[in-house]
Amino acid sequence: MADSACPTDSRRCNYFFLYDGSKVQEEGDPTRAGICFFYPEETPLEQQELLCGQLAGVCQCVSELSRSPVRLLRLRGSKFAVRMKDHFLWAFSCPPDIPDVSVCKLLDQLISLFCFYNGPIRQSYQLHSRADLALRWARYLTHLQGGSSELHHIFSCLRTIDSTHIDPLLLLKAALILQACQRCPLVLAGCILYRGRVVSTQMPPDLTVKVMVHETESYSQQDHRPVANGISSACGTPSSSTGTTPVFLTPAELQALCCPPVNRTCRSHCTPQPPPRPRKSRLLSRTLSDTPPSELDAAKLDPAPTPFLCLSDESCLSPCPSSSQATTPEFSPLHQSENPCTTDAESHDHDLSNEIASCELEEEVVRGKMANGCSKKVELRMDQSKVEARGDLILQNGNGCHTNGYHQEPASDHHSDQSSGDEPPDTSHLKPLSNGAEMPDKEEKKKKEKANIKKDNQERDENRQANMKNSGRKIEVKDREGVGDGEMRENGMGRGESGEGESSEEEQVLLPRALYQHRVRALVLALLVEPHFHSDQAAVEEVSHSSLASLNGLEAHLRTSTPGGPGPHGPYTFAHYDCIQNTLTTNLSGRSVAPQDRSFVRATALLHSHFSQTQTLQEAIVRSAGAAVYSTRSPAQETYFLQHATSVRNSGIPNHLDSAFSLPNKARHRLLKHGVNLL
């Protein structure tokens, strides 16, 4: 959190510009007519023209020769990620040591950010003045490069709250609030942010990033909220306010939110499977120990290592790739046992300490069970190929969705014993293991309550589909699986490449939705809602009432929890990147410039780009005279590790006693206490 306040600490962007070639067609047209935005804005106009003119010309020429738009352009001292579409050309330059993938990803993020808030690019330049839009570009640019370390740039990851210093139950609470909001049929998904960092999110990482811009923006402006962006309404006390902003989603994004691939996947894959015993216990264990927003962080608290778990066993608990479900699966069992609390979420009067107490209780139970799970897990992992692991992701996703309740479609009702729309399909498996005795009772209570909701859900789903069709995109149920899969790859695994072809088509159709924001001091609840949400007074009230008190409570707790320094320091540096949730855990502080750290960042950049180029690469050790770095990756994560002070001089000749080759072992042991499991 400390570094959230220093926006331009590490300014990595040298130049960024948007050039509209359609404005410079004739011989006499000045180049400046085509320059829509140029950063840094203080650059002399002549130089702006020179750069834009040359780059645009040369890119045009190359793309004609190759019949494919230019993606990357390198100069001796810098590199430009380039995006060409219609007559527009975006170019974003950074120093050459940032990997190609990262630069391209940054530019794509920037462009999609703009489209998210302003709609299609051509249209927005017709509707608004250049100066207005320039302000926005500048804002998005600042947001993207603001306040994070070089490592964050390499992975272009989400900034999450440092959950090592936060009671995990607060994170649960956040997830609860989000789920409560989703009861309103007009709410698609949401996230909770605190001081520019993610506390909990239901959206895919790409979307979360976009939502965060608005939050950061309004946070920095504190009380004077932005009016520039349209329907901004205010209510409540100075410390608490709400507002709505129009936003634009791509069909793929919307689909990810509305129609997750999971129901189908789950139906076709889960049910026929013999009920897998071992995973249930783990499901539970994770429930309590793992908290949604950054499961890595949460995992730190958990002696039982988690990340591999989610890949190795088919358990539905994972840093679930696509969409909102990420947060909820872990949450659901708690939801059951804490039934009153969930239902109370609406009446928003809830005592947090109560929750904590009961959770702790259950945690005890679960810890015991975890041991079994762990030993099983290793076996499972052994005989699972990567392909299966990949399949698992989808599968997990499936379960995740079910647990998430709001997505329930009529079809999923064939799980006979879980008629409640809010119940995860796995409950049936869960019962015998978790505190079985109390569960059924609670469920029955719930059933009644939830019956209504279920109806709502059904209606809502129909609505949504109708909406989608209206938007000119027909969604066939049959296709969902495939689309969802692709989508997931794009969001989670995609290294900026997959789905690009798709997106270029998709961007032509942007679907208007709205972003509802409820701020309580530094805490923000951001919800993606249907466009008419704002006008639906009942819905607004429902949401705001259901969340207000809980938000207040959460804010108070977050405020009082001490930020603390970065995690436990040891004689090593590590970075752990979760490709699916797009989060980073590291013990490297943003500002450190020790030579060891420099070489760590350098090696990480190299290895990351190597990983992204070579899909089959699983682990690597590289050593220079000064430092040896070990890295390993699975489909879901990448881990980098450097051991300090092992500068015992060596010759570089192959020698198995060499300290560099003991790094994998060291990493495995050391990182356990950070919740990173490499076993």
Partner 1 sequence: MKCLLVASESAEVLFYWTDPEFHIRVQEQYGPTSDDGEGPQHAFEDRINTLFAPIIISCSTMVDRLRESYTTFCTESNDIYVLHQFEECLYIAVNGDGEENEDDLRRKIFVIKKLTEVMFGMVTLSSTLLRKELRPQDTEQRRALWRRLQGLLETYSRLREQDQSFLVEAVERLIHPTLCEQCIEFLERRLVQQLNSSAERAGEEVQHAFILVHTKLLAFYSSRNASTLSSSDLLTLMLMVQHLHPSNPEIDDSSPEDIQDTTADPEVFYTPEPSPPEHPADWCSPSVELGRTDMEAPMFQFVDPDIQMAEDSLQTLQMNPPDPATPTRVFLETTLKEGFFPMMPHSMYSLPLWPGITLVLITKIPSSQVAMSIYHFLETVAKLEKRLKDGQEGAVPQRGHTPIQDLRSKMDKFIRVLGNNEIQTSLLQKAWAEFKAKAFSRGGPGLSRQLVPYCRNLHTQLCGVFRQCFVSGSCSTQRLSPSLQDRALTMVQDKLLDWKDFLLVKSKRNITMVSYLEEFPGLVHFIYVDRAAGQMIAPSLNMTERASSELGKGPLAQYIKSKVWSLVGTARRYLQKGYTTVTQRDGDYYLCYFLWFENETGYKLEVVDIPSPPDSAPIGMLAWDYYRKLLRYYSKSHSSEVVKCYELFTMHLGVIPSDYVLQHCSQLARKLWEPSRIPLL
- Among residues 27, 42, 44, 77, which is the contact residue for partner 1, using CB under 8 A? 77
What lies within 8 Å, CB to CB, of 622 at 6+ separation is 603, 606, 607, 628, 629, 631
Name the pairing type of β-strands 523-529 and 15-20. unpaired
Q: Choose the stretch contacting partner 1; rule: CB under 8 A; options: 256-264, 301-309, 457-465, 610-618.
A: 610-618
Of 448-507, which residues contact partner 1 (CB under 8 A)?
Answer: 500
Distances, alpha carbon 170 to alpha carbons 177, 404, 560, 573, 669, in Å: 11, 19, 12, 28, 29
What is the smallest separation between the CB atom of 365 and partner 1, expressed in angstroms?
Answer: 39
Q: Tell me the β-bridge partners of 20.
A: 88
Rg of the chain on CA atoms, in Å: 25
Q: Choose the stretch contacting partner 1; rule: CB under 8 A; options: 178-186, 197-205, 377-385, 606-614.
A: 606-614
Q: Please, which residue, 239 or 618, has the CB nearer to partner 1?
A: 618
Contact yes or no for 186/467 (Cβ under 8 A): no
Name the pairing type of β-strands 35-39 and 15-20. antiparallel
What is the smallest separation between the CB atom of 17 and partner 1, expressed in angstroms?
Answer: 14
Q: How far from each other are the two terminal CA atoms of the chain, in whole angstroms?
A: 31
Query: How many residues at the interface with partner 1, by CB under 8 A?
Result: 56
Q: Please, which residue, 8 or 665, has the CB nearer to partner 1?
A: 665
Q: Is 656 helix (H, G, I), strand (E, B) or coil?
A: coil
Q: Choose the stretch contacting partner 1; rule: CB under 8 A; options: 206-214, 268-276, 623-631, 671-679.
A: 623-631
- The label of the residue with tokens 């789903």 reads 461
- Among residues 13, 18, 51, 193, which is the contact residue for partner 1, using CB under 8 A? 51
Q: Choose the stretch contacting partner 1; rule: CB under 8 A; options: 58-66, 135-143, 314-322, 448-456.
A: 58-66
Q: Please, which residue, 7 or 53, has the CB nearer to partner 1?
A: 53
Of 89-148, which residues contact partner 1 (CB under 8 A)?
Answer: 100
Q: 672 exposed, middle or buried (CB, 10 Å; 0-12, 13-18, 19+)?
A: middle
Distances, alpha carbon 80 to alpha carbons 49, 151, 503, in Å: 16, 19, 21
The string of DSSP codes covering 531-599 is GGGTT-HHHHHHHHHHHHHHHHHHHHHHHHS----SS--BSEEEEEEETTTTEEEES--TT---HHHHH
Of 177-196, which residues contact partner 1 (CB under 8 A)?
Answer: none
Q: Choose the stretch contacting partner 1; rule: CB under 8 A; options: 190-198, 375-383, 580-588, 615-623.
A: 615-623
- Among residues 1, 2, 62, 509, which is the contact residue for partner 1, using CB under 8 A? 62
Sheet architecture: strand order including 583-586: 583-586, 572-578, 637-643, 628-634
What lies within 8 Å, CB to CB, of 123 at 6+ separation is none
Q: Choose the stretch contacting partner 1; rule: CB under 8 A; options: 114-122, 315-323, 468-476, 624-632.
A: 624-632
Strand (E) or helix (H) holding 38: strand 35-39
Residue 388 binding partner 1, by CB under 8 A: no
Q: Please, which residue, 347 or 618, has the CB nearer to partner 1?
A: 618
Residue 375, number of CB atoms within 10 A of its CB: 10
Residue 224 binding partner 1, by CB under 8 A: no
- Among residues 367, 598, 610, 666, which is the contact residue for partner 1, using CB under 8 A? 610
Which string of x and - marks every residue 626-645 that binds partner 1 (by CB under 8 A)?
x-x-----------------
Residue 63 binding partner 1, by CB under 8 A: yes
Q: Please, which residue, 222 or 665, has the CB nearer to partner 1?
A: 665
Q: Alpha-carbon distance 677 to 670, whole Å?
A: 10
Q: Choose the stretch contacting partner 1; rule: CB under 8 A; options: 67-75, 419-427, 573-581, 585-593.
A: 67-75
Of 642-661, which residues contact partner 1 (CB under 8 A)?
Answer: 649-656, 658, 660-661
Q: Please, which residue, 69 or 276, has the CB nearer to partner 1?
A: 69
Distances, alpha carbon 445 to alpha carbons 337, 418, 420, in Å: 12, 13, 10
What is the smallest separation between the CB atom of 79 and partner 1, expressed in angstroms?
Answer: 8
Contact yes or no for 344/323 (Cβ under 8 A): no
Farthest-apart Cα atoms in the chain, separation: 82
Name the pairing type of β-strands 628-634 and 637-643. antiparallel
Q: Please, which residue, 556 or 606, has the CB nearer to partner 1?
A: 606
Report the amino acid identity of residue 639. T
Structure tokens at 458: 């059904």
Q: Give yes or no for a cis peptide into 333 (omega within 30° of 0).
A: no
Q: Choose the stretch contacting partner 1; rule: CB under 8 A; options: 44-52, 134-142, 158-166, 322-330.
A: 44-52
Q: Please, which residue, 32 or 473, has the CB nearer to partner 1?
A: 32
What is the smallest separation between the CB atom of 51 and partner 1, expressed in angstroms?
Answer: 8
Distances, alpha carbon 198 to alpha carbons 190, 211, 524, in Å: 11, 10, 10
- Among residues 33, 365, 606, 672, which is the contact residue for partner 1, using CB under 8 A? 606
CA dihedral 478, 484, 485, 488 (to 10 degrees): 180
What is the smallest separation between the CB atom of 249 and partner 1, expressed in angstroms?
Answer: 24
What is the smallest separation between the CB atom of 286 and partner 1, expressed in angstroms?
Answer: 28
- Candidates 425, 369, 419; CA nearest to 402 is 425
What is the smallest separation between the CB atom of 311 and partner 1, expressed in angstroms?
Answer: 17
What is the smallest separation between the CB atom of 85 and partner 1, expressed in angstroms?
Answer: 11
What is the smallest separation between the CB atom of 388 and partner 1, expressed in angstroms?
Answer: 16
Residue 75 binding partner 1, by CB under 8 A: yes
Q: Give yes or no for a cis peptide into 307 (omega within 30° of 0).
A: no
What is the smallest separation between the CB atom of 386 and partner 1, expressed in angstroms?
Answer: 10
Q: Alpha-carbon distance 108 to 143, whole Å?
A: 14
What is the smallest separation between the CB atom of 67 and partner 1, expressed in angstroms?
Answer: 7
Residue 58 binding partner 1, by CB under 8 A: yes
The residues of the shown chain that bind partner 1, judged by CB under 8 A, are 47, 50-51, 54, 57-63, 65-78, 100, 500, 602-603, 606, 610, 614, 616-626, 628, 649-656, 658, 660-661, 664
